[in-house]
Structure formats: C-alpha cells, structure tokens
Amino acid sequence: MNMDMQMKLKMTHVARTLALCAACAAGSVSAQGNAADIEHGRQLFMKNGCYSCHGTVGQGGERSAGPRIAPMAMPADAFKTFIRNPPEAMPRFDERFVSDADLEAIHRYLASLPKGRSAKEIALLQVAR
C-alpha cells in the first residue's frame, strides 16, 4: 500500500472517530440512536457500496461521482423513497438488496455526522500571500 493510500485510510478513520465524538458531545447520538446503531449504519453504508459514490463519511465522491449526503437532513421516510426510486444516475436499491431496517440504520449513521468545515475554515487550504 502506498503512502497516499495509507494516509487516506488514517484520515478516514480519524474523521469517523471525530464525527462520532462530535455527535456524542452535541447530544445528537441519543436523539438519532445509540453509538452501536450508528456503527451498524456505517457498516451497512460501506457493505452496500454507498461509499463508492458518496465517500466514506457522505462527503461526496471524487469527480462528482455522487453528491454530499451528510449530514443527512432528509427525513427517514423521504430517504427511503429516494433510495427505492432514485434519479437516473443512481442505482435502485429495492427491498431485495437493502431492507427498510437497513435503510433506517444508514439514515441514522448519515444523520449523526456533523457538518464539515468550509474550505475557508481550513488553514492548509489557504493560499499564502
């Protein structure tokens, strides 16, 4: 594994850990589900390949593969309807592939993730003058 891939994996793990910590600190975990439910949703998000277009923490895919979907603001019922009947570019996931319970777990995971910082808030992305 090359250094870039190792760094990406470490950063993904750190981002996930920070996201869960931030959700716990904000009290949103109790509102959205407990940590085990959120972790189960994360595992389903990965298992079902959602990450391949939307990124491992719903940040959106590279080269516009899939839009940012976290933090999830869409209500759970609307999310389920969207996944069952998506626009053309997204594959359809009917009940044979992803159960309603699994979609609810994925929704809880995405809803638990905090909003990321804007590029203006990240010092490393600022141009030195």
53-106 per-position pLDDT tens digit: 999 999 888 776 889 999 988 999 999 999 999 988 899 999 999 999 999 999
Flag whether 27 is in a domain. no
Distance of CA 29 to the CA centre of its chain: 15
Flag whether 66 is in a domain. yes
**How far is it, in rounded angstroms, from Cα 16 to Cα 6?**
15
54-60 long-range CB contacts below 8 Å, 24 or more apart?
56/12, 56/15, 56/16, 57/12, 57/15, 57/16, 57/19, 57/113, 58/110, 58/113, 59/116
Query: Has this prediction a pTM greater than 0.85?
Result: no
Flag whether 61 is in a domain. yes
Flag whether 98 is in a domain. yes
Q: Are 57 and 12 in contact (CB under 8 A)?
A: yes
Flag whether 110 is in a domain. yes
Looking at the predicted structure, is the pLDDT value of residue 22 above 80?
Answer: no
Flag whether 32 is in a domain. no
Is pLDDT larger for residue 13 or for residue 49?
49
Residue 25 half-sphere exposure toward CB, CA atoms < 13 A = 8
Q: Return the pLDDT at 123.
A: 87
Q: What is the CATH number of the domain that holds 87?
A: 1.10.760.10
Flag whether 80 is in a domain. yes
- For residue 16 the two structure tokens come to 């996930």
Tell me how many domains the chain contains: 1
What's the domain range around 63? 37-114
Q: Is the dihedral of CA 28, 32, 37, 43 positive or negative?
A: negative
